[in-house]
Amino acid sequence: MQSTAGRLRAHFLLAALLPCALLADDIVTVAVASNFVKTAVEVSAAFTEITAVPVRISPGSTGKLYAQIVNGAPFDLFLSADTERPLLLEQSGYAVNGSRQTYAIGSLVLWSRDERLQGRDCREVLERGDYLWLALANPMTAPYGAAAREFLEKAGLWKMASQRAVFGENIAQTLQFVATGNATLGFVSLSQAKDPDLPVATCTWTVPATSDTSLHQQLVLMERARSSAGARQFLEFLGTPAAQEIIVRHGYAVPD
């Protein structure tokens, strides 16, 4: 729980970063990648407690949110699970040039709750093909799915895995497949694996970070919100110690 002193420090920092007044009904609308939703909810609550500015979160896979944005969805900020889409939005004029920044660095985890894997090595189970179904997010629309496929291809396991793969629309649905036992194993985010509400895992293995599997998650301020004080203040808040403490606690790293 954040201390009163911590909240005051965050308040003073925000005041220094953005001294303009905000209306209480100035709602900030944020498109958030599925893996980051629970974290974003807690960050938003802390932001609103300090500023009295409400935040509306719209979750989805990064690819689908990107498609909604280019088709006119009225978001103020986009918290992506990759670097590619924010860059494209900036280059194409949908996002404010220079607003793109990394707000979190995620990790990919192989996870199972299958009782037959109790005490076993998840990586060994994957390599031996000793599983029925393997869940991963759709690599075309979800960066965590793309990272999982990259890892499997580099490890020489994609041919076998693709024949037993079940694809979630996003990383949240992917976790559901594994948590309900409909898939033996699944590639999920470390943040999800740390969720205390999950069933106890029977085996887990964190995929080593490489250029292919390191998940730098970036945000951009949308052009429509260029003059929105609330949106800019939320963007700045994500870089404060108060917000970063929440982000790290949920299983992410933050940029130096």
pLDDT in tens, 104-153: 999 999 999 999 999 999 999 999 999 999 999 999 999 999 999 999 99
What is the C-alpha separation between 145 and 188, in angstroms, rounded? 8
What is the tens place of the pLDDT at every residue in 23-42? 444 899 999 999 999 999 99
The pLDDT assigned to 151 comes to 95
Q: Which CATH architecture has domain 4-105+214-249?
A: 3-Layer(aba) Sandwich (3.40)
- pLDDT given for residue 211 in this prediction: 62
Give the residue-averaged pLDDT of 248-256: 93
CATH of domain 108-206: 3.40.190.10
- For residues 218 and 130, give the distance between their C-alpha atoms in angstroms, rounded to a whole number: 36
> pLDDT value at position 63?
94
Mean pLDDT of 51-59: 97
Q: Give the pLDDT score at 94.
A: 98
Q: Write phi, then psi, for 21 (nearest 5 degrees).
A: -75, 150
Q: Count Cβ atoms within 10 A of the Cβ of residue 239 and give its class: 0-12 exposed, 13-18 middle, 19 or more buried.
A: middle
* Share of residues in the chain with pLDDT > 70 (%): 89
Q: Is the pLDDT of residue 158 over 60?
A: yes
Q: What is the pLDDT of residues 57-99, one digit of tens each?
A: 999 999 999 999 999 999 999 999 999 999 999 999 999 999 9
For residue 101, what are the contacts with CB-CB under 8 A and spacing of at least 6? 218, 219, 239, 255
The answer to which of 20-29, 39-48, 95-104, 214-223 has the lowest mean pLDDT is: 20-29
Q: Please write the tens of the pLDDT for every residue from 165-190.
A: 999 999 999 999 999 999 999 999 99
Q: What pLDDT is stored for residue 213 in this prediction?
A: 61
Query: Quick one: pLDDT at residue 212?
Result: 62
In the chain, residues under CATH classification 3.40.190.10 are 4-105+214-249, 108-206
Burial level of 58, CB count in 10 A (0-12/13-18/19+)? middle
- For the record, the structure tokens of 100 come out as 């793109």
Neighbour-count burial of 133, counting CB atoms closer than 10 A to its CB (0-12 exposed, 13-18 middle, 19+ buried): middle
| pTM of the predicted model as reported, rounded to 2 decimal places | 0.84
